[in-house]
Structure 1
Amino acid sequence: MDQKIENQLNLAINIPEDERVRTQDLDTGYNMTENEWELIVKYNGNIETAAMNIADSLKILLGGYALVRIKQERIDEFAALREVIYIEKPKKLYFELENSGSVSCLDFQYTDSALDGSGVITAIIDSSVDYRHPDFMTEEGKTRIIELYDENTGRVYSEDDINAAIGGDLSRVPVEDVSGHGTHVAGIAAGNGRASNGRYRGVAYKSRLLIVKLGNDLYFSSARLMEALDYVIRKAASLSMPVAINMSFGNNYGAHDGTSLLETYINAVADIWQCVIVAGSGNEATRKIHVMHDFAKAAAPVISTELVIGRYEPSIDIQIWKNYADIYRITLTAPDGRRYGPVQGDDVITVFRAGSTEIYVYFGQPSPYSVNQEIFIQMIGADYISSGIWIIEAEALDVRDGIYHMWLPAGNFVSSDTGFTKSSPDVTLTIPSTSYNVITVGAYNGRTGSYADFSGRGYTRVIRTVKPDIVAPGVNIMSPAPGGGYSVQSGTSMAAPFVTGTAALLMQWGIVKGRDPYMYGAKIKAQLIRGAVPLKSVPVPSERAGWGALCVRKSIPD
Structure 2
Amino acid sequence: MDTPNQQFDPVTCENAIYSEEYLPLLIDYAGDFQQIIDRYKPVCYVILSVRQAIIYVYIGSAKIWSQNFTYRSIPKVFGLMDTAVLEQTGVLKLRRQPYIDLYGQDVLIGFLDTGIDYRNPVFRNADGTTRIEAIWDQSIPDGEAPDNFFYGSEYGKEQINQALESKNPLEVVPSMDTNGHGTFMAGVAAGNIDENNNFSGIAPNCEIIMVKLRQARKKLRNFFLVNDNVDCYAENDILTGMSYLIKKAEQLGKPIVICIGVGTNSGDHNGSSPLGRFIDYFGFVTGIVFVGGTGNEGNRGHHYESSSVLPEDFEELEINVGENVSGFSLELWATTPALFAIGFTSPSGEVIDPIQPRLNKKETIRFVLEKTVLELAYYIIEAGAGDFLVFMRFDSPAKGVWKIRAYNRSPVANSFNMWLPIQNFIPDSIYFNQPEPNVTITEPGNATTIITVSVYNGQTDSMYIHSGRGFTRGGKIQPAAAAPGVSVFGPLLNNQFGRKTGSSVSAAVGAAIAALLLEWAIVQGNDDDANSNVIRQYIVIGAREREIVYPNREWGYGEIDIFSIFERLRT
User: Under TM normalisation by the shorter chain, which class is it?
Assistant: 0.7 to 0.9
Q: Report whether the alignment pairs 1:482 with 2:493.
A: yes
Q: Matched residue of 1:308: which SS?
A: strand
User: Contact 1:251–1:411 at 8 Å: present in 2 too?
Assistant: no
Q: Matched residue of 2:471: which SS?
A: coil
Residue in 1 aligned with 2:226? Answer: none
Query: How many equivalent pairs are there?
Result: 518
Q: Give 1:193's aligned amino acid.
A: I
CA positional deviation for 1:294: 1.7
User: Contact 2:312–2:410 at 8 Å: present in 1 too?
Assistant: no
CA positional deviation for 1:125: 1.5
Q: Give 1:181's aligned amino acid.
A: H
Write the deviation string for residues 179-233 of structure 1: whole angstroms up to 9, x where unpaired: 1000111111111133x53722011111111111011481211111110111111
Residue in 2 aligned with 1:264? Answer: 277
| Aligned residue runs from structure 1 range 128-207, under 5 A | 128-153=115-140, 154-168=152-166, 169-194=169-194, 196-197=195-196, 199-207=198-206
- Provide the rounded CA distance (Å) in 1 between the counterparts of 2:74 and 2:363: 21
- Provide the rounded CA distance (Å) in 2 between the counterparts of 1:50 and 1:299: 40
Write the deviation string for residues 157-195 of structure 1: whole angstroms up to 9, x where unpaired: 01111112122332111011111000111111111133x
Q: Report whether the alignment pairs 1:548 with 2:558.
A: yes
- Provide the rounded CA distance (Å) in 1 between the counterparts of 2:36 and 2:81: 39
CA positional deviation for 1:32: 10
CA positional deviation for 1:34: 5.6
CA positional deviation for 1:397: 3.3
- Provide the rounded CA distance (Å) in 1 between the counterparts of 2:290 and 2:153: 24
Q: Report whether the alignment pairs 1:515 with 2:535.
A: no
User: Contact 1:315–1:379 at 8 Å: present in 2 too?
Assistant: yes
Q: Report whether the alignment pairs 1:276 with 2:289.
A: yes
Write the deviation string for residues 446-473 of structure 1: whole angstroms up to 9, x where unpaired: 00111111100110012x0111111100
- Provide the rounded CA distance (Å) in 2 between the counterparts of 1:444 and 1:300: 43
Q: Report whether the alignment pairs 1:397 with 2:409.
A: yes
- Provide the rounded CA distance (Å) in 2 between the counterparts of 1:233 and 1:32: 23
Q: Which of the residues 397, 418, 429 maps onto 2:430?
A: 418
Q: Which of the residues 10, 14, 21 maps onto 1:35?
A: 21
User: Contact 2:111–2:260 at 8 Å: present in 1 too?
Assistant: yes
- Identical columns (%): 27
Q: Which of the residues 71, 77, 101 maps onto 1:92?
A: 77
Relative to structure 1, the CA distance from residue 49 to residue 306 in structure 2 (aligned partners, 3 Å threshold; closer, same or farther) is closer
User: Contact 1:287–1:419 at 8 Å: present in 2 too?
Assistant: yes
CA positional deviation for 1:335: 0.5
Residue in 2 aligned with 1:214? Answer: 213
Q: Give 1:35's aligned amino acid.
A: E
Q: Report whether the alignment pairs 1:62 with 2:49.
A: yes
Residue in 1 aligned with 2:482? Answer: 471
- Provide the rounded CA distance (Å) in 2 between the counterparts of 1:215 and 1:123: 16
CA positional deviation for 1:64: 2.1
Q: Which of the residues 348, 352, 365 maps onto 2:361?
A: 348
User: Contact 1:344–1:363 at 8 Å: present in 2 too?
Assistant: no
Residue in 1 aligned with 2:248? Answer: 235
Write the deviation string for residues 287-343 of structure 1: whole angstroms up to 9, x where unpaired: 1100100225x8992211010011111111111111232232221000111101211
Alpha-carbon RMSD: 2.6
Q: Which runs of 5+ in 1 are unaligned?
A: 1-29
Q: Which of the residues 332, 342, 345 maps onto 1:330?
A: 342
Residue in 1 aligned with 2:224? Answer: none
- Provide the rounded CA distance (Å) in 2 between the counterparts of 1:322 and 1:156: 43
- Provide the rounded CA distance (Å) in 2 between the counterparts of 1:50 and 1:178: 39
Q: Give 1:530's aligned amino acid.
A: I
Relative to structure 1, the CA distance from residue 528 to residue 54 in structure 2 (aligned partners, 3 Å threshold; closer, same or farther) is same
CA positional deviation for 1:372: 1.0
- Provide the rounded CA distance (Å) in 1 between the counterparts of 2:241 and 2:541: 30
User: Contact 2:311–2:412 at 8 Å: present in 1 too?
Assistant: no
- Provide the rounded CA distance (Å) in 1 between the counterparts of 2:35 and 2:129: 45
User: Contact 1:97–1:490 at 8 Å: present in 2 too?
Assistant: yes
Q: Give 2:373's aligned amino acid.
A: E
CA positional deviation for 1:147: 0.7
CA positional deviation for 1:534: 2.2
Relative to structure 1, the CA distance from residue 388 to residue 299 in structure 2 (aligned partners, 3 Å threshold; closer, same or farther) is farther
Q: Report whether the alignment pairs 1:47 with 2:33.
A: yes
User: Contact 1:59–1:66 at 8 Å: present in 2 too?
Assistant: yes
Q: Matched residue of 1:228: which SS?
A: helix
Q: Report whether the alignment pairs 1:339 with 2:324.
A: no
Residue in 2 aligned with 1:370? Answer: 385
Q: Which runs of 5+ in 2 are unaligned?
A: 1-15, 141-151, 216-229
- Provide the rounded CA distance (Å) in 1 between the counterparts of 2:542 and 2:317: 41
- Provide the rounded CA distance (Å) in 2 between the counterparts of 1:388 and 1:377: 18
- Does 143-152 or 38-47 show the bigger shift? 38-47
CA positional deviation for 1:113: 5.1
Q: Matched residue of 2:515: which SS?
A: helix
User: Contact 1:538–1:545 at 8 Å: present in 2 too?
Assistant: no
- Provide the rounded CA distance (Å) in 2 between the counterparts of 1:449 and 1:349: 48
- Provide the rounded CA distance (Å) in 2 between the counterparts of 1:66 and 1:177: 29
TM-score, length of structure 2 as denominator length: 0.86
Q: Give 2:455's aligned amino acid.
A: A
Residue in 2 aligned with 1:17? Answer: none
User: Contact 2:488–2:500 at 8 Å: present in 1 too?
Assistant: yes
Q: Give 2:283's aligned amino acid.
A: A
Q: Matched residue of 1:517: which SS?
A: coil
Residue in 1 aligned with 2:147? Answer: none
Write the deviation string for residues 119-152 of structure 1: whole angstroms up to 9, x where unpaired: 1111112111111111111111110001111112
- Provide the rounded CA distance (Å) in 1 between the counterparts of 2:125 and 2:178: 23
Relative to structure 1, the CA distance from residue 150 to residue 498 in structure 2 (aligned partners, 3 Å threshold; closer, same or farther) is same
Q: Give 1:434's aligned amino acid.
A: N
User: Contact 2:339–2:380 at 8 Å: present in 1 too?
Assistant: no
Q: Give 2:343's aligned amino acid.
A: T
Relative to structure 1, the CA distance from residue 242 to residue 34 in structure 2 (aligned partners, 3 Å threshold; closer, same or farther) is closer
Residue in 2 aligned with 1:6? Answer: none
CA positional deviation for 1:517: 1.1
User: Contact 1:44–1:85 at 8 Å: present in 2 too?
Assistant: no
Residue in 2 aligned with 1:441? Answer: 453
- Provide the rounded CA distance (Å) in 2 between the counterparts of 1:31 and 1:314: 27
- Does 60-69 or 498-507 show the bigger shift? 60-69
CA positional deviation for 1:46: 3.9
| Aligned residue runs from structure 1 range 379-394, under 5 A | 379-381=394-396, 385-394=397-406
CA positional deviation for 1:50: 5.6
CA positional deviation for 1:370: 2.7
Q: Give 1:540's aligned amino acid.
A: Y
- Does 217-226 or 360-369 show the bigger shift? 360-369
